[in-house]
A and B are shown apart, each in its own frame.
Chain A
Amino acid sequence: MTASTFTIAGRIIRQLVRDRRTLALLVLVPLVIASLVGVSIPEKAMLDYIFPAILAVLILFFGFLLTGISFLRERSQGTLERLLASPVSRLDIVGGYLLGFLLFALAQTLIIFFYMVYVLDISYRGELWQILVFQVLIGAGAVCLGTFFSVFARNEFQMMQFIPLVIVPQIFLCGLLWPVSQMPDYLQWAAKFLPLTYGVDGIRALMLEGQNLADIGLEVGVLGAFAVVLLVLASLTLRRNSPG
């Protein structure tokens, strides 16, 4: 990590903070979704089971969407071209995005978490800092995934199409609504390759069973490896599709 990584991260946070409406939506939308789930499911045990998974899903969704769109804009408005002609390395650029959006993801998780616990009265076990660390891990994968997929989109409309393609199947197969172990064999097999499955398993182990990060080494390892592989892929593909 170099000074440029922090400069880029700082710029990303400044951009989000100055865009007041987007900022407000980013706080309100997850709370609306959380409230809807909270009101629509009357059974408390079921809510306790679903809410940890909702945390994981929201971080993946927003991490992917925000970085995907921001990176796309960085390309289309030509600022990426400027950065690539400057002394910063490609890893600095992706690293800056990672750091900037992770701080943001952390803040978002905290807001949803406290809303869930104190307003919607969800019970949880485990320690808050471990939950945050694990969320950051899911978020890191999501940010790299968004950066990587933005290479394949030329405008915002195309980027939006990647949500049903990349995010929605993961939501259905991750065990959010129904345990993966009760799905048909081929779906269970497919779920093994999707990062959100490990995210949901891990966060449930932390929040429902009160386990430690050390107990969920497999999930932490898979999510970490996923983030690193995508970080490399995103850095390598940075030059593609630049305008002109």
Chain B
Amino acid sequence: MTSITTGAIILHQMKTLTGDAAPAAGAAIAIRDLSFNYGRLKVIDGLSLEVPPGTSFGLLGPNGSGKTTLIRLMVGLLKPAGGSIHCLGRAPSPAHARSMGYMPQLPALYQELSVQQNIEFFARIYGMKDKMQRSQRVEEVIRLIDLWSRRRTSILKLSGGMKQRVSLGCAIVHRPPLLFLDEPTVGLDPELRAHFWRHFEELTSSGTTLIISSHTMDDAAHCNRLAFLRQGKVIAHGSPAELLAAAGSSCASLEEAFLYFIRKGEAPESDR
């Protein structure tokens, strides 16, 4: 009896969470038949995807496969030409932007401002009104990205890796449950890369959902789940282990698995 009631309540809560065009229950992100064009060029072509909450989801693919466009669609910077996107059960809109964090590909920062001023600015922009809480959180983030001693330094005077760290700090300062990171590890040395990944794992274990685009298979191995993208389509998805298994025994690495799925996708077309 009680379990039925609880079930009904959960179902009801899910309905209110997801709205009418309900995607699969509980998915952090649900994308159906998404398409997007730049002029005549099809960048996203009938793409469907589901991301369970609390996972680190890797979007893998070569340059021009549509990773950045897909992320920009998910954060609401672009409007789909067709299909639907639901992030935390809702279509992306400025009203829901507070639950998302976005780290663009460039370390998009204000060059003249200091590390602290940049992070503080984005904390305010994302509606952290309480001054005490905000300055505490800003300090916490600066320590997390390990730049406390450089907090008053202008971005201009920082190295590339430091800028990447500040950029990450700006994206996570408001503790978003959904975090989009567009190639966050590009240009990082192996030590920093490991540092970043340790932090990403901490975030997912606390329930944050991470969408990470990358073209290196080194990043791919760290993700809970992966989608291989090519020409605006998902050619394969699953956990790294599943993808390796699906690609067969001949593939020893994710890199080889990726190439296998590309060949597999092309084969029927070349037969025609």
Chain A residues within 8 Å of B, Cβ to Cβ:
3-4, 7-8, 11, 14-15, 18-19, 77-79, 81-89, 242-244
In Å, the complex CA distance between A51 and B77 comes to: 46
Instruction: Write the chain B residue with the least CB distance to A17.
Output: B112
Check if B125 is an interface residue, CB within 8 A of chain A.
yes
Q: Is the CB of B94 within 8 A of A79?
A: no
Q: Is the CB of A87 within 8 A of B121?
A: no
Q: Is the CB of A77 within 8 A of B111?
A: yes
What are 29 sample pairs from A and B whose C-beta atoms fall under 8 A apart? A4-B124, A7-B121, A7-B125, A11-B113, A14-B112, A18-B113, A18-B154, A77-B108, A77-B109, A78-B105, A79-B108, A79-B109, A81-B108, A82-B108, A82-B170, A85-B75, A85-B76, A85-B77, A85-B97, A85-B102, A86-B94, A86-B102, A86-B126, A87-B95, A87-B126, A87-B127, A242-B77, A244-B69, A244-B72
Contact residues of A: prevailing secondary structure: helix
In Å, the complex CA distance between A243 and B76 comes to: 15
- A residues in contact with B121, CB < 8 Å: 7, 11
| Nearest CB on B from A198, distance (A) | 34
The answer, among A4, A82, A88, for a CB contact under 8 Å with B104, is A82
In Å, the complex CA distance between A83 and B126 comes to: 10
Interface string of B121-135 (1 = CB under 8 A from A): 110111101000000
In Å, the complex CA distance between A14 and B120 comes to: 12
In Å, the complex CA distance between A19 and B127 comes to: 27
Chain B residues within 8 Å of A, Cβ to Cβ:
68-69, 72, 75-77, 94-95, 97-98, 100, 102, 104-114, 117, 121-122, 124-127, 129, 154, 170
- B residues in contact with A19, CB < 8 Å: 112
| Nearest CB on B from A85, distance (A) | 4
Question: Which 6 A/B pairs are nearest by Cβ-Cβ distance?
Answer: A78-B108, A78-B106, A87-B97, A85-B102, A85-B75, A7-B124
In Å, the complex CA distance between A83 and B122 comes to: 9
Q: Is the CB of A86 within 8 A of B111?
A: no
The answer, among B110, B111, B170, for a CB contact under 8 Å with A11, is B110
- A residues in contact with B98, CB < 8 Å: 87
- B residues in contact with A84, CB < 8 Å: 77
Instruction: Write the chain B residue with the least CB distance to A244.
Output: B68
Q: Is the CB of B117 within 8 A of A14?
A: yes
Q: Is the CB of B113 within 8 A of A4?
A: no
- B residues in contact with A15, CB < 8 Å: 110, 112-113
Instruction: Write the chain A residue with the least CB distance to B103.
Output: A82
Instruction: Write the chain B residue with the least CB distance to A243.
Output: B106
Contacts A87-B97, A89-B94 given; indicate if A81 touches B104 (C-beta within 8 A).
Answer: yes
Instruction: Write the chain A residue with the least CB distance to B117.
Output: A14
The answer, among A3, A83, A85, A87, for a CB contact under 8 Å with B129, is A3
| Nearest CB on B from A64, distance (A) | 20
Q: Is the CB of A14 within 8 A of B113?
A: yes
- A residues in contact with B113, CB < 8 Å: 11, 14-15, 18
Q: Is the CB of B110 within 8 A of A79?
A: yes
Contacts A15-B110, A15-B113 given; indicate if A86 touches B125 (C-beta within 8 A).
Answer: yes
The answer, among B72, B97, B105, B112, for a CB contact under 8 Å with A86, is B97
In Å, the complex CA distance between A202 and B195 comes to: 61
- B residues in contact with A8, CB < 8 Å: 125
- A residues in contact with B104, CB < 8 Å: 78, 81-82
Contacts A78-B104, A82-B122, A86-B125 given; indicate if A18 touches B112 (C-beta within 8 A).
Answer: yes
| Nearest CB on A from B69, distance (A) | 8
Instruction: Write the chain B residue with the least CB distance to A19.
Output: B112
Q: Is the CB of B125 within 8 A of A83?
A: yes
Known interface pairs A11-B113, A78-B108; 13 further A-B residue pairs with C-beta atoms within 8 A, sorted by A's residue number = A7-B124, A15-B112, A18-B114, A78-B105, A81-B104, A83-B125, A84-B77, A85-B100, A86-B97, A86-B102, A86-B125, A88-B94, A244-B72
